[in-house]
Structure formats: structure tokens, C-alpha cells
Amino acid sequence: MINILVPIKRVPDPYIKVKPLPDGSGLDVANVKHEINPFDEIALEAAIRLREQGVELAITVVSIGPDEAEEQLRKGLAMGADSAILVQKQGGMDSLGVAKEIAEIAKSTGAKLVIMGKQATDDDCNQASQMLAALLGWGYCSCASQISLSGSHIEVRRETDSGEQRVSLELPAIVTADLRLAEPRYIALPGIIKARSKPLEKRVPVHNDQVQYRVLSVESVPSRKAGKMVQSVPELVAELKSLGAVS
């Protein structure tokens, strides 16, 4: 039996436009719909598919955040995870703090594989997985587009700027999911009903380190000027010169 840990983050629905607070101190997420971070949902789907291929697995989803994150954990259970852990934490937490908490859970659950999203859509940090690998001293591979388990190894394919790379990692290991890794499944009603009876454990944070960053301001993206159609290359060059784009 291989224990797989899949961290999932509660983020504002990526298809909803979120506005900054009037004072610019953060985002106004009051009454905003939240979902599982899309990359984490892909990671969970990939873990479930490994089990469907005949590998004996136990999948645990874990989230760090407020009590409202239980909704996202229940969704993970409905998709097919076996159990869930919620680390109850109000307020912000930086990537290192997240990595420390996940490292503690990986140790306590006896996890041999962590599959997680390569980044979150709210802050786009792309840091927690690398820090987690350093804290645990495990093998690490990012941006996986295909994975398979073979004995005590996980075989990973990842797309790079120079082509496809194949990596073999000995367990325990950490792998992060790219968009092409899997398409999350539709959750049917039986899965939602089963999720209600699956175990969801609540814990307090082991570490209470101060956040190591400070938000200076949050602003809306400035509106772009309307484009202009040109009829010829000379006209295009003239326009670019007028804008100072070319000399």
C-alpha cells in the first residue's frame, strides 16, 4: 500500500473577476465563490487514475486554511480521495509555512508520494513544492504531463522548451502537475453521497511562523488601448516609430 498525499488549496474561482479592496491592501473576496486550485484538482485526478490502473493506493487530500476549506476537501473526497485533513489556519501563510505544515503531515501519515499542483491561481508563487522537497529530502520533479508507478519508482514525463524529458524517481518523491497531466472528472451524485461518510480530520498548525512577506499594494490591471488596423508594412513601421517601439 502506497500512501499518496495531495495538497489542495482553496482559491477564488479562477473564472470570476476579483477586484482589489478600496485601500489596495488585498483582494475583495467577500461573497466570492471558491474552488479547488485547478492545478491541485488535476493532481488529485492523476492520483485517482494511478489507483484505477491497479496500484494499491490510499489517497489523502490536505488543505491549510479556514473552516470553509472543508467544502473543497469534501469535493476532493467526492472525486475519489479516501480521507482528508484540514489544518485550521486563519489569515495568510507564505510558501515556506505551507511547506512546513505539509512536511509534518507527510511524516505523520507515512506518505511515500506527494502529487500537487505546480502553482496556485491566486498568488502564482510556484514555491511550496520545491521547499517541501528540500525539507523532506525527497526526490522532486515539476510540471509532469504524464506519470506512472512501477514498483518503488514513479516514472514522469515532462515537457520542456527543448522537448520531452523522462525522469525516474525512487519513492518517496514529490511531483507537481501541469495542465496536460489529466482532465478532472465530473463528480456524480453517488460520489458526493459517499464523501459525507469519509473521514475528515481537523488539526491545528504545528508551526506558527510569521509570514515572511508584506503586501505593498494591490491594483487592477490598467485597461489596454484599442488596437489600430494598418493597411501596409510601411504604415505599420510608421506607427511603431511614432510609439517609440523602433528607431
Residue 113: Cβ-neighbour burial (10 angstroms; 0-12, 13-18, 19+): buried
Rounded distance, CA 159 to CA 178, Å? 9
Using a pLDDT cut of 90, give the percent of the chain over it. 61
Name the grid cell of 122.
Answer: 491566486
| Residue range 68-114, pLDDT digits in tens | 999 999 999 999 999 999 999 887 788 999 999 999 999 999 999 99
Q: How confident is the model at residue 24 (pLDDT cuts 50, 70, 90)?
A: confident
**pLDDT reading at 122 higher than 80:** yes
| Residue range 157-207, pLDDT digits in tens | 998 888 889 999 999 999 999 999 999 999 888 888 888 889 999 999 998
Q: How confident is the model at residue 243 (pLDDT cuts 50, 70, 90)?
A: confident
Q: How confident is the model at residue 9 (pLDDT cuts 50, 70, 90)?
A: very high
What integer pLDDT is reported at residue 25 of this predicted model?
81
Architecture per CATH, 2-243: 3-Layer(aba) Sandwich (3.40)
Rounded distance, CA 44 to CA 7, Å? 9
What integer pLDDT is reported at residue 6 of this predicted model?
97
Using a pLDDT cut of 70, give the percent of the chain over it. 100
**pLDDT reading at 247 higher than 80:** no
CB 198, CB 82: distance < 8 Å: yes
Q: Does 205 sit behind a cis peptide bond, omega within 30 degrees of 0 on the bond before it? A: no
Q: Mean pLDDT over all residues of the chain?
A: 91
Question: What DSSP line would sit under 98-143, residue for residue?
Answer: HHHHHHHHHHHHT-SEEEEES--TTT----HHHHHHHHHT-EEEEE
**pLDDT reading at 41 higher than 90:** yes
Rounded distance, CA 185 to CA 38, Å? 12
